[in-house]
Amino acid sequence: MKNKILIVCILTLSFFKTDAQIPCKEIVGYYPNWQWYDRSKLVNPLTINYSKYSILNYCFFSPQLDGSILSTDSWADENLLLGQPNWTTGGYFPNTSIVDLAHNHNTKIIPSIGGWTLSGNFPIIAADPVKRVAFAQACVNLIQTYNFDGIDIDWEYPGYADHGGSAQDKNNYTLLLQAIRTAIDNYGIAHNKTMLLTAAVGAAEDRMDDVDWTAVSGILDIINLMTYDFFGSWDVTSNHNAPLYAPTQGDPTFNCDYAINKLISVYNVSPQKITLGVPFYGRSSKTTGTPSLFGSNAGSVDGVTFIEDEGSPEYYNIVKNMGLFTEHWDNTAKVPYLTGNGSLNTFVSYDNEQSIGLKAKYIVDHNLRGAIIWEITGDYLETAPNSGVIANTPLVDTLNHVFCNYNSGVVVPGTPSIIWNNPSNIIYGTALNSVQLNALANVTGTFVYTPNSGTILPVGSHTLSVLFTPLDNVNYTTVSATVQIDVTKASPVLIWNNPANISFGTALTSTQLNAISSVSGSFVYSPVAGTILPVGIHSLNVNFMPNDNLNYLNSNASVEINVVTNSELELIENHINNIILYPNPANSSLLFTEELTAVEVFSIHGKKIFETIEKANSISTAELSDGVYYLVSKQGFFKFTVKH
């Protein structure tokens, strides 16, 4: 028995030695102790490829009412965290535990405490100063016992009434995290180690609102945003488990993009602290009739087809049963889904290599810290079902490939909108220079469009497409890419009491900034010349110290500015030679005299309305409201008008 174990260790370590590398971004993978038993212990400490992850979260430990922490499976934890038992010596074979093997490959490993079924005691612990201290010390004991590299708190969720939560959790959550932070940092200093403190947090708006992000983001090293379980069999209609963007139906806040933007834009959390949740599992729903996206759910999972996973299939089980389904792609939400064939009334939402790749690109484009995986074992595919031989790990391999090779680009669908490949947010009102406009990372290519330096985007998050001719085939194999830029409000805000309208895009001079009609006074705010206001009427409050008491008796006044569209910024009618759009204005459809490829339609402000992947001879405009739009294809772009 001893010799056999040693041989396995040598072969496994040799395999890893040739494959070892450090992920280009943070990849945090959950490893649940109960999954050790699955598939005859296929995914175990000796078969995990640690080089694919920067951190492993070992889960779960259970918080107790007195602040202590208990194991949820003592046999699994002993074998996994201490190593394979040596029955001869009463000890454990060296380098057989998940902790030792992770450290051998420069991968950190931390225990995750809580989880969905074990979060009910957190509100009581966090509310009591004595229990907070006891819990923090229990975290230190856990680190010391198993040589962990920190602590992950998975409280689902502060303020969640079904798990004993209340409004007091918002403050108590911060106090609990601070107690843990202090305790593990003191331990780390004493042992010359840097300790990590991370937390899994909910991606729904009401879950985010129950956290004091200003305080919490300063305490945590990593914020693991659980951007999955948005929809499931509990909903009346079938929808996506983890859509990257909002589907055309359902709660528009239930998607990765919305959650990330709220955490960054509303709560000012640094993107470098956020890992985006990517699921290596799916959600099944039984349907009342023929399964379809947005079809009627029967209120239950398919526990027959996916009996091993109780209806929430791991990715390897989805792949194994793919022949029972028809595969589809939702190009709005950017995720796949399955519908059962024949009499199989089952809908399955999941992620595959394509959707994981798009989420990885999103992470790069938004300068996020990386990805959090629930959970890694679902990605370990066998050479054949029940072969006991691991073939590959396609989903985490996709993450690593994109993180190490993808470069986001520049996109311009036409003035007055512009997109720039920025690693962080830009401030609205900033004039982009020619260097920024040409920053296409490491990819060499020729733009179809030539943007003008100094063009300004309105406040908001803008996702647009770029068409360019690549000069290499290393990073881009097609002539299209998608990038995103987040534009935030400028500070200080421009306030100018103008008697007449101004045009959007006009840089205001210092003379205009000081024109407060005939009232003399000194501004409390000093706006900068050249600041731009978006189109619309703006009523703002001005604080100033008046030099007379004739016209203004108070130090507060309201001024108004009206910004109108600048007609000089409109697009030229036709940017495609020898192709005609008709009718224009369009009523119910727009026809092309020649076939166009990869057609996209944008509003006049640069918001994408819809797109077609295949070639098209026409588009429907029945759902578009009256107004001006831009049509963009690989051949060029048009401006067209819709009038019903």
The predicted pLDDT at position 637 comes to 65
Pair 334, 358: CB distance under 8 Å? yes
The predicted pLDDT at position 606 comes to 53
The predicted pLDDT at position 485 comes to 47
pLDDT (mean) for 146-170: 96
Q: Percentage of the chain with pLDDT > 90?
A: 56
Angstrom distance (rounded) from CA 172 to CA 453 = 49
Q: Range with the lowest mean pLDDT among 243-247, 416-420, 609-613? A: 416-420
The predicted pLDDT at position 629 comes to 80
**CB count in 10 Å sphere of residue 591:** 13
Residues for the chain: how many in total?
A: 644
Q: Range with the lowest mean pLDDT among 120-129, 235-244, 474-483? A: 474-483
The predicted pLDDT at position 617 comes to 84
The predicted pLDDT at position 427 comes to 42
> How does strand 521-523 pair with strand 536-546?
antiparallel
pLDDT (mean) for 605-631: 77
Examine the pLDDT at 605 and tell me if it is beyond 70. no
CATH fold of 572-642 = Immunoglobulin-like (2.60.40)
Higher pLDDT, 611 or 216: 216
Q: Range with the lowest mean pLDDT among 222-236, 402-416, 599-613? A: 402-416
* Structure confidence by residue, pLDDT tens digits, 465-484: 343 333 333 333 333 444 44
Q: State the catalytic residue, choosing from 26, 78, 156, 314.
A: 156
How buried is 622 (Cβ within 10 angstroms: 0-12 exposed, 13-18 middle, 19+ buried)?
Answer: exposed
Examine the pLDDT at 350 and tell me if it is beyond 60. yes
The predicted pLDDT at position 502 comes to 44
Examine the pLDDT at 248 and tell me if it is beyond 90. yes
156 is catalytic: yes
Higher pLDDT, 101 or 525: 101
Summary mean pLDDT of the chain: 76
The residue extents of the domains of the chain are 2-280+352-405, 426-488, 502-568, 572-642
In the DSSP assignment, the letter for residue 191 is T
Terminal C-alpha separation, the chain: 80
How far is CA 546 from its chain centroid? 49
pTM (2 d.p.): 0.64
pLDDT (mean) for 127-150: 97
pLDDT (mean) for 21-36: 92
Give the torsion sign (CA, 177, 178, 182, 188). positive
Q: Is there a common fold for 2-280+352-405 and 572-642? A: no
**CB count in 10 Å sphere of residue 328:** 12
The predicted pLDDT at position 135 comes to 98
The predicted pLDDT at position 578 comes to 57
CATH superfamily for domain 2-280+352-405: Glycosidases (3.20.20.80)
The candidate with the shortest Cα–Cα distance to 350, out of 309, 371, 319, 377, is: 319
In the DSSP assignment, the letter for residue 376 is G
The predicted pLDDT at position 609 comes to 78
- Please tell me whether residue 425 adopts helix, strand or coil conformation: coil
Examine the pLDDT at 49 and tell me if it is beyond 70. yes
Angstrom distance (rounded) from CA 184 to CA 602 = 51
Pair 540, 563: CB distance under 8 Å? no
